[in-house]
Amino acid sequence: VIAVGSGLTVWMTAAWQLMLCWGLLVGLGSGSMALAFAATVTNRWFTERRGLVTGILTAASASGQLIFLPVLSWMVERHDWRPAAVTVALAALAVVPFVWLLLRDHPADVGLKPYGATEFVPKPEPVPGAARRALSVLVKAARTGPFWLLAGTFAICGASTNGLIQTHFVPAAHDAHMPVQAAASLLAVIGVFDVVGTIASGWFTDRYDARRLLATYYALRGVSLLFLPMLLAPSVHPPMLFFIVFYGLDWVATVPPTVALCREQYGEDSAIVFGWVLASHQVGAALVAFLGGVARDAFGSYDMVWYFSGALCAVAALMALVIRRKSVAAVPVAAV
Protein backbone atom coordinates (compact mmCIF):
# COMPACT_ATOMS: atom_id res chain seq x y z
CA VAL A 1 0.00 0.00 0.00
CA ILE A 2 2.87 2.36 0.82
CA ALA A 3 4.57 1.53 -2.47
CA VAL A 4 1.37 2.17 -4.44
CA GLY A 5 0.67 5.46 -2.66
CA SER A 6 4.20 6.78 -3.04
CA GLY A 7 4.56 5.57 -6.63
CA LEU A 8 1.30 7.13 -7.80
CA THR A 9 2.38 10.60 -6.66
CA VAL A 10 4.69 10.95 -9.68
CA TRP A 11 1.59 11.27 -11.88
CA MET A 12 -0.46 13.57 -9.67
CA THR A 13 -1.66 16.88 -11.08
CA ALA A 14 -3.88 18.22 -8.28
CA ALA A 15 -3.72 18.71 -4.52
CA TRP A 16 -6.52 16.20 -3.84
CA GLN A 17 -4.42 13.48 -5.46
CA LEU A 18 -1.63 14.18 -2.97
CA MET A 19 -4.17 13.81 -0.16
CA LEU A 20 -5.31 10.50 -1.64
CA CYS A 21 -1.85 9.04 -2.29
CA TRP A 22 0.03 10.19 0.79
CA GLY A 23 -2.73 11.04 3.23
CA LEU A 24 -4.81 7.91 2.62
CA LEU A 25 -2.67 5.19 1.03
CA VAL A 26 0.71 5.88 2.62
CA GLY A 27 -0.99 6.74 5.90
CA LEU A 28 -3.02 3.52 5.83
CA GLY A 29 0.03 1.40 5.05
CA SER A 30 2.37 2.95 7.59
CA GLY A 31 -0.32 3.09 10.27
CA SER A 32 -1.12 -0.60 9.85
CA MET A 33 2.43 -1.66 10.64
CA ALA A 34 3.39 1.05 13.09
CA LEU A 35 3.97 0.85 16.83
CA ALA A 36 0.82 -1.18 17.50
CA PHE A 37 2.37 -3.93 15.41
CA ALA A 38 5.43 -3.89 17.69
CA ALA A 39 3.16 -4.23 20.73
CA THR A 40 1.41 -7.24 19.18
CA VAL A 41 4.70 -8.95 18.33
CA THR A 42 6.02 -8.36 21.84
CA ASN A 43 2.90 -9.77 23.48
CA ARG A 44 2.94 -12.91 21.34
CA TRP A 45 6.62 -13.78 21.30
CA PHE A 46 7.83 -12.66 24.75
CA THR A 47 6.79 -12.99 28.38
CA GLU A 48 10.08 -11.56 29.70
CA ARG A 49 12.10 -8.51 28.67
CA ARG A 50 9.04 -7.05 26.99
CA GLY A 51 10.08 -3.48 27.69
CA LEU A 52 13.48 -4.01 26.10
CA VAL A 53 11.98 -5.75 23.06
CA THR A 54 9.44 -2.96 22.61
CA GLY A 55 12.27 -0.45 22.79
CA ILE A 56 14.30 -2.29 20.14
CA LEU A 57 11.35 -2.62 17.75
CA THR A 58 10.37 1.00 18.27
CA ALA A 59 13.92 2.15 17.67
CA ALA A 60 14.04 0.09 14.49
CA SER A 61 10.90 1.77 13.20
CA ALA A 62 12.51 5.18 13.64
CA SER A 63 16.07 4.39 12.56
CA GLY A 64 15.07 4.44 8.89
CA GLN A 65 15.16 8.21 8.99
CA LEU A 66 18.90 7.94 9.66
CA ILE A 67 19.32 6.49 6.16
CA PHE A 68 16.47 7.98 4.19
CA LEU A 69 16.26 11.61 5.28
CA PRO A 70 19.69 12.76 4.02
CA VAL A 71 19.38 10.65 0.86
CA LEU A 72 15.88 11.85 0.00
CA SER A 73 16.77 15.45 0.83
CA TRP A 74 19.76 15.25 -1.52
CA MET A 75 17.61 13.71 -4.26
CA VAL A 76 14.95 16.42 -3.95
CA GLU A 77 17.54 19.20 -4.15
CA ARG A 78 19.41 17.66 -7.09
CA HIS A 79 16.73 15.84 -9.07
CA ASP A 80 13.32 17.18 -7.92
CA TRP A 81 10.86 15.26 -5.74
CA ARG A 82 9.70 12.53 -8.14
CA PRO A 83 12.83 10.33 -7.88
CA ALA A 84 12.51 10.56 -4.09
CA ALA A 85 8.90 9.32 -4.25
CA VAL A 86 9.93 6.43 -6.50
CA THR A 87 12.75 5.56 -4.08
CA VAL A 88 10.29 5.29 -1.20
CA ALA A 89 8.03 3.07 -3.31
CA LEU A 90 10.89 0.76 -4.31
CA ALA A 91 12.16 0.52 -0.73
CA ALA A 92 8.69 -0.49 0.47
CA LEU A 93 8.42 -3.14 -2.25
CA ALA A 94 11.86 -4.54 -1.39
CA VAL A 95 10.67 -5.43 2.11
CA VAL A 96 7.72 -7.54 0.92
CA PRO A 97 9.57 -10.82 0.10
CA PHE A 98 11.46 -10.74 3.40
CA VAL A 99 8.22 -10.35 5.36
CA TRP A 100 6.48 -13.07 3.34
CA LEU A 101 9.28 -15.62 3.59
CA LEU A 102 10.86 -14.99 6.99
CA LEU A 103 8.27 -13.66 9.45
CA ARG A 104 5.90 -15.96 11.35
CA ASP A 105 2.66 -15.02 13.06
CA HIS A 106 3.09 -16.95 16.32
CA PRO A 107 5.83 -18.94 18.15
CA ALA A 108 3.72 -22.09 17.76
CA ASP A 109 4.12 -21.79 13.98
CA VAL A 110 7.76 -22.83 14.39
CA GLY A 111 7.29 -25.05 17.45
CA LEU A 112 8.69 -22.56 19.97
CA LYS A 113 7.56 -21.22 23.32
CA PRO A 114 7.36 -17.46 23.83
CA TYR A 115 10.65 -16.18 25.23
CA GLY A 116 10.57 -16.57 28.99
CA ALA A 117 7.51 -18.84 29.04
CA THR A 118 7.68 -22.10 30.99
CA GLU A 119 5.01 -23.84 28.92
CA PHE A 120 4.20 -24.18 25.25
CA VAL A 121 1.47 -21.75 24.16
CA PRO A 122 -0.72 -23.07 21.31
CA LYS A 123 -1.65 -20.69 18.57
CA PRO A 124 -5.17 -19.37 19.22
CA GLU A 125 -7.87 -19.72 16.63
CA PRO A 126 -8.53 -16.62 14.52
CA VAL A 127 -11.10 -14.42 16.19
CA PRO A 128 -14.07 -13.68 13.92
CA GLY A 129 -15.23 -10.11 13.69
CA ALA A 130 -11.89 -8.44 14.42
CA ALA A 131 -13.27 -4.98 13.72
CA ARG A 132 -16.20 -5.57 16.06
CA ARG A 133 -13.85 -6.76 18.79
CA ALA A 134 -11.63 -3.70 18.36
CA LEU A 135 -14.65 -1.45 18.82
CA SER A 136 -15.90 -3.39 21.85
CA VAL A 137 -12.46 -3.15 23.48
CA LEU A 138 -12.48 0.59 22.82
CA VAL A 139 -15.90 1.00 24.43
CA LYS A 140 -14.79 -1.00 27.46
CA ALA A 141 -11.47 0.81 27.83
CA ALA A 142 -13.07 4.23 27.36
CA ARG A 143 -14.98 3.68 30.59
CA THR A 144 -11.72 3.70 32.55
CA GLY A 145 -9.62 6.68 33.59
CA PRO A 146 -6.20 5.24 32.67
CA PHE A 147 -7.25 4.94 29.02
CA TRP A 148 -7.91 8.66 28.70
CA LEU A 149 -4.72 9.54 30.55
CA LEU A 150 -2.69 7.26 28.30
CA ALA A 151 -4.45 8.53 25.18
CA GLY A 152 -3.97 12.13 26.29
CA THR A 153 -0.28 11.77 27.04
CA PHE A 154 0.34 9.91 23.80
CA ALA A 155 -1.57 12.55 21.82
CA ILE A 156 0.85 15.10 23.26
CA CYS A 157 3.70 12.76 22.37
CA GLY A 158 2.59 12.78 18.74
CA ALA A 159 2.03 16.52 18.82
CA SER A 160 5.55 17.20 20.12
CA THR A 161 7.38 14.76 17.81
CA ASN A 162 5.83 13.82 14.45
CA GLY A 163 3.51 16.80 14.33
CA LEU A 164 6.03 19.34 15.57
CA ILE A 165 9.69 18.49 14.97
CA GLN A 166 9.30 16.06 12.10
CA THR A 167 6.97 18.43 10.24
CA HIS A 168 8.16 21.90 11.21
CA PHE A 169 11.83 21.65 12.18
CA VAL A 170 13.15 21.93 8.62
CA PRO A 171 10.88 24.90 7.70
CA ALA A 172 11.78 26.61 11.00
CA ALA A 173 15.48 26.05 10.36
CA HIS A 174 14.98 27.43 6.85
CA ASP A 175 13.37 30.52 8.37
CA ALA A 176 16.63 30.93 10.31
CA HIS A 177 18.52 30.66 6.96
CA MET A 178 19.89 27.17 7.60
CA PRO A 179 20.30 25.11 4.40
CA VAL A 180 17.54 22.55 3.93
CA GLN A 181 19.95 19.64 3.56
CA ALA A 182 21.71 20.59 6.81
CA ALA A 183 18.38 20.72 8.66
CA ALA A 184 17.34 17.35 7.23
CA SER A 185 20.68 15.90 8.33
CA LEU A 186 20.00 17.10 11.87
CA LEU A 187 16.71 15.18 11.79
CA ALA A 188 18.69 12.12 10.75
CA VAL A 189 21.00 12.62 13.74
CA ILE A 190 17.90 12.66 15.94
CA GLY A 191 17.21 9.21 14.49
CA VAL A 192 20.66 7.99 15.59
CA PHE A 193 20.15 8.96 19.21
CA ASP A 194 16.52 7.89 19.11
CA VAL A 195 17.75 4.31 18.65
CA VAL A 196 19.92 4.58 21.75
CA GLY A 197 17.28 6.36 23.83
CA THR A 198 14.42 4.03 22.97
CA ILE A 199 16.38 0.84 23.63
CA ALA A 200 17.54 2.30 26.94
CA SER A 201 13.94 3.25 27.73
CA GLY A 202 12.87 -0.34 27.15
CA TRP A 203 15.56 -1.53 29.56
CA PHE A 204 14.42 1.01 32.16
CA THR A 205 10.78 0.01 31.67
CA ASP A 206 11.55 -3.56 32.72
CA ARG A 207 12.99 -2.24 35.99
CA TYR A 208 11.29 1.01 37.04
CA ASP A 209 7.84 2.57 37.41
CA ALA A 210 6.61 3.29 33.88
CA ARG A 211 4.58 6.30 35.09
CA ARG A 212 7.66 8.03 36.47
CA LEU A 213 9.60 7.27 33.34
CA LEU A 214 6.87 8.86 31.22
CA ALA A 215 6.74 11.93 33.46
CA THR A 216 10.51 12.32 33.21
CA TYR A 217 10.55 11.94 29.43
CA TYR A 218 7.77 14.46 28.86
CA ALA A 219 9.23 16.97 31.32
CA LEU A 220 12.67 16.82 29.70
CA ARG A 221 11.17 17.08 26.22
CA GLY A 222 9.18 20.13 27.24
CA VAL A 223 12.25 21.87 28.66
CA SER A 224 14.25 21.19 25.49
CA LEU A 225 11.51 22.66 23.29
CA LEU A 226 11.48 25.88 25.30
CA PHE A 227 15.13 26.45 24.39
CA LEU A 228 14.80 25.64 20.68
CA PRO A 229 13.84 29.15 19.45
CA MET A 230 17.11 30.48 20.85
CA LEU A 231 19.16 27.78 19.10
CA LEU A 232 17.98 28.07 15.49
CA ALA A 233 20.66 29.78 13.40
CA PRO A 234 22.05 29.81 9.84
CA SER A 235 24.72 27.27 10.76
CA VAL A 236 24.94 24.24 13.03
CA HIS A 237 26.63 25.15 16.32
CA PRO A 238 27.41 23.13 19.49
CA PRO A 239 24.30 24.15 21.48
CA MET A 240 22.10 23.05 18.56
CA LEU A 241 23.94 19.73 18.42
CA PHE A 242 23.34 19.32 22.15
CA PHE A 243 19.61 19.88 21.58
CA ILE A 244 19.58 17.34 18.74
CA VAL A 245 21.28 14.70 20.90
CA PHE A 246 19.12 15.44 23.94
CA TYR A 247 15.87 15.52 21.98
CA GLY A 248 16.83 12.45 19.99
CA LEU A 249 17.30 10.38 23.14
CA ASP A 250 13.73 11.33 24.11
CA TRP A 251 12.10 11.09 20.66
CA VAL A 252 10.06 7.89 21.08
CA ALA A 253 11.38 6.82 24.47
CA THR A 254 7.77 7.18 25.63
CA VAL A 255 6.65 4.09 23.71
CA PRO A 256 7.98 1.25 25.95
CA PRO A 257 6.47 2.64 29.19
CA THR A 258 3.20 3.46 27.42
CA VAL A 259 2.96 -0.10 26.07
CA ALA A 260 3.85 -1.46 29.53
CA LEU A 261 1.08 0.58 31.18
CA CYS A 262 -1.44 -0.61 28.57
CA ARG A 263 -0.40 -4.19 29.29
CA GLU A 264 -0.62 -3.65 33.04
CA GLN A 265 -4.06 -2.06 32.85
CA TYR A 266 -5.74 -4.11 30.11
CA GLY A 267 -4.00 -7.50 29.98
CA GLU A 268 -4.92 -9.57 26.94
CA ASP A 269 -6.62 -6.60 25.31
CA SER A 270 -3.52 -4.43 25.68
CA ALA A 271 -2.39 -4.59 22.05
CA ILE A 272 -5.82 -3.43 20.87
CA VAL A 273 -5.95 -0.72 23.52
CA PHE A 274 -2.50 0.46 22.52
CA GLY A 275 -3.72 0.62 18.93
CA TRP A 276 -6.40 3.10 19.99
CA VAL A 277 -3.91 5.00 22.15
CA LEU A 278 -1.64 5.16 19.11
CA ALA A 279 -4.55 6.58 17.11
CA SER A 280 -4.64 9.48 19.57
CA HIS A 281 -0.90 9.92 18.96
CA GLN A 282 -1.56 10.35 15.25
CA VAL A 283 -4.46 12.73 15.88
CA GLY A 284 -2.23 14.89 18.08
CA ALA A 285 0.47 14.83 15.42
CA ALA A 286 -1.99 15.81 12.69
CA LEU A 287 -3.42 18.69 14.70
CA VAL A 288 -0.05 20.24 15.49
CA ALA A 289 1.25 19.63 11.97
CA PHE A 290 -1.67 21.71 10.68
CA LEU A 291 -2.03 24.25 13.47
CA GLY A 292 1.72 24.79 13.65
CA GLY A 293 1.68 25.95 10.05
CA VAL A 294 -1.31 28.17 10.73
CA ALA A 295 0.49 29.73 13.71
CA ARG A 296 3.64 30.29 11.62
CA ASP A 297 1.64 32.17 9.01
CA ALA A 298 -0.26 34.16 11.64
CA PHE A 299 2.68 35.20 13.84
CA GLY A 300 5.50 35.16 11.31
CA SER A 301 7.60 32.66 13.28
CA TYR A 302 7.41 29.33 15.05
CA ASP A 303 8.29 30.69 18.51
CA MET A 304 4.78 30.38 19.94
CA VAL A 305 4.53 26.84 18.57
CA TRP A 306 7.67 25.73 20.43
CA TYR A 307 6.54 27.37 23.69
CA PHE A 308 3.03 25.96 23.49
CA SER A 309 4.34 22.46 22.77
CA GLY A 310 6.73 22.71 25.71
CA ALA A 311 3.79 23.59 27.96
CA LEU A 312 1.81 20.63 26.59
CA CYS A 313 4.68 18.32 27.51
CA ALA A 314 4.52 19.61 31.10
CA VAL A 315 0.81 18.74 31.16
CA ALA A 316 1.61 15.25 29.85
CA ALA A 317 4.18 14.76 32.62
CA LEU A 318 1.55 15.54 35.26
CA MET A 319 -1.02 13.28 33.57
CA ALA A 320 1.42 10.36 33.60
CA LEU A 321 1.96 10.69 37.34
CA VAL A 322 -1.75 10.40 38.18
CA ILE A 323 -2.27 7.10 36.35
CA ARG A 324 -3.28 4.60 39.02
CA ARG A 325 -1.22 1.43 39.18
CA LYS A 326 -2.87 -1.95 38.78
CA SER A 327 -1.55 -5.10 40.37
CA VAL A 328 0.59 -6.89 37.79
CA ALA A 329 -0.39 -10.22 39.29
CA ALA A 330 -4.02 -9.51 38.49
CA VAL A 331 -3.33 -8.97 34.80
CA PRO A 332 -3.56 -12.13 32.66
CA VAL A 333 -0.75 -12.85 30.22
CA ALA A 334 -1.84 -12.34 26.64
CA ALA A 335 -2.23 -15.50 24.62
CA VAL A 336 -2.52 -13.64 21.33
pLDDT digits (tens, 9 = 90+) for 229-265: 999 999 889 999 999 999 988 888 998 999 999 989 9
Cα 64 from Cα 164, distance rounded (Å):
19
Q: Per residue in 137-151, pLDDT tens?
A: 999 999 999 999 999
| Mean pLDDT over the full length of the chain | 85
- pLDDT for 330 beyond 60: no
Q: What percentage of the chain reaches a pLDDT higher than 90?
A: 39
The arithmetic mean of pLDDT across residues 45-57, rounded, is 78
Cα 155 from Cα 20, distance rounded (Å):
24
Domain ranges of the chain: 33-117+129-326
The CATH number of the domain covering residues in 33-117+129-326: 1.20.1250.20
